[in-house]
A and B are shown apart, each in its own frame.
Chain A
Amino acid sequence: MSEKITYEVGLGSDAVRQPQRIVFITRKMSAKVKEKTEPQLMSFPHVIEREAIAFQLLAIVMVVLSLFWDAPLEQLANPLLTPNPAKAPWYFLGLQELLHYFPPVLAGVLIPTLVILALVVIPYFDVNIEGEPLWAHRSRKRLQIYVGVFAVLFVFLALYDAWTVLIPTAVVGALGLVPYFNPTSDSRFQKFLASRSLPWWVMTWFIAVALTLTAVGTFFRGPGWSWVWPWS
């Protein structure tokens, strides 16, 4: 026992005597705990088996279809002759339909960029995480904003004659209003609609418009991008 040893103060091991705040969990940050312990399985063999079966089923379906469905090959590329109509691959046909109505900067650059940005930021907005039904509080202010946004959208679309975008927007917009005006309905469908959150409505609107545009671009557009009926 010669010199005096200096001690540094650190975290004590007695949490009752010396409580220390180590982490501060807010509602937003906590992982959702559904159950204390859930039944679990070993990945090997259970996951591996199921993935192997899924892969084999997929391979069988793909192989059978490839044996009967031939990929197209048109004539040699001719830079001097544009076929009529000249269509993009099907996953871009929705975009090409949009290009028919709006100037290329808007439909070709701005809208796709905004769509991608919107997708990327989805998880960072609280309203998307809470998942509250859109009309949970039957707020009049919310109704005003909803109707206002749709009115602006309608005017914009009507100005550009973009009725293939307008129609699915109108359908989804109308469906979205049903739970507000009919909150005590017994119908299972209306109860389902009433429980849907804002992100659900926005995504459903997006899918409705995208599907409509792609379907129109694929089946209803002919030479010169004119309207054709697919059965004619």
Chain B
Amino acid sequence: MPGEPKAPGKPEGKNAVSRRDFLNEIAGGALAVAAIGAVVVTVNYSSPNVLFEPPTTFRAGSPDDYPVNSVTYLQEQQVYIVRTDKGMWALSAVCTHLGCITQWKPESDQIACPCHGSKFQRTGTVQAGPAPRPLPHFALGLGEDGVLVVDKLEVVKETEILKV
């Protein structure tokens, strides 16, 4: 009948989309973008940019403080300073299995983890237990004033030994 609005007809053409569907798709897309954006913003917010954690580079005294063929545990830093007749290296004291702090056992010449019984040699190699990797070596350097400097963020190869 004349004067009455026409009911929406089917869109013609192969890929034709009705106006209603088009607007719905646009709205849905906008909502999806907003939702994803909300998640990303929340995750970014939750990820701290500034951390108040103990410094990872520290001084460890002079090499003479460590007798030859000794393993010294620095408790504050959870690092072993190992000195042999070939040289020195710094070993992480954190067990590579699940993060417990290991203990140096001089009577059995082993570094032992109390949590699940992993055992390491003074080179860091795994001797027994479920630890999947050897204890990492940290970069050990000699500062200008002859003081040892350990950087826990820099992991070096086992073969790198500081000659003193």
Query: Contact residues of A with B, CB < 8 Å?
Result: 79-86, 96, 99-104, 223-226
What is the size category of the interface that chain B forms with chain A? Answer: 10 to 19
Asked whether A223 lies within 8 Å of B114 as measured between CB atoms, the reply is yes
Q: How far is the CA of A96 from the CA of B114 in the complex (A)?
A: 13
B residues near A226, Cβ cutoff 8 Å: 117
B residues near A104, Cβ cutoff 8 Å: 97-98, 130, 132
Partner of A99, one of B98, B112, B114: B98
B residues near A85, Cβ cutoff 8 Å: 114-115
B163 to chain A, nearest CB (A): 30
A106 to chain B, nearest CB (A): 11
Query: In the complex, what residue of chain B is closest to A80 when comparing beta carbons?
Result: B75
What is the number of contacts between chain A and chain B, taking CB atoms within 8 Å?
50
Query: In the complex, what residue of chain A is closest to B73 when comparing beta carbons?
Result: A80
Asked whether B132 lies within 8 Å of A99 as measured between CB atoms, the reply is no
**Known A99-B98, A103-B130, A104-B132; contact A86-B114, beta-carbon cutoff 8 A:** yes
**Known A80-B101, A82-B100, A104-B97; contact A224-B130, beta-carbon cutoff 8 A:** no
Partner of B100, one of A86, A100, A101, A103: A86
Asked whether A81 lies within 8 Å of B130 as measured between CB atoms, the reply is no
Q: How far is the CA of A174 from the CA of B97 in the complex (A)?
A: 35
A64 to chain B, nearest CB (A): 36
24 contacts between A and B (CB under 8 A): A80-B75, A80-B78, A80-B101, A81-B75, A82-B100, A82-B103, A82-B115, A84-B103, A84-B115, A85-B114, A85-B115, A86-B100, A86-B115, A96-B116, A99-B130, A101-B130, A103-B132, A104-B98, A223-B114, A224-B112, A224-B114, A224-B116, A224-B117, A226-B117
Q: How far is the CA of A14 from the CA of B150 in the complex (A)?
A: 90
B residues near A101, Cβ cutoff 8 Å: 130
**Most interface-central of B75, B101, B115 (chain A CB within 10 A):** B115
Prevailing SS type, chain B contact patch: loop
B residues near A80, Cβ cutoff 8 Å: 75-76, 78, 101
B residues near A223, Cβ cutoff 8 Å: 114
* A-contact 0/1 string along B88-103, CB 8 Å cutoff: 0000000001101111
Asked whether B116 lies within 8 Å of A225 as measured between CB atoms, the reply is yes
Query: In the complex, what residue of chain A is closest to B119 when comparing beta carbons?
Result: A224
**Known A100-B130, A103-B130; contact A82-B101, beta-carbon cutoff 8 A:** yes
B residues near A86, Cβ cutoff 8 Å: 100, 114-115
A residues near B112, Cβ cutoff 8 Å: 224
Asked whether B116 lies within 8 Å of A81 as measured between CB atoms, the reply is no
Query: In the complex, what residue of chain A is closest to B100 when comparing beta carbons?
Result: A82
Q: How far is the CA of A226 from the CA of B130 in the complex (A)?
A: 13
User: In chain B between 46 and 66, which residues have their CB closer than 8 angstroms to a CB of chain A?
Assistant: none
Query: In the complex, what residue of chain B is closest to A107 when comparing beta carbons?
Result: B130
A145 to chain B, nearest CB (A): 32
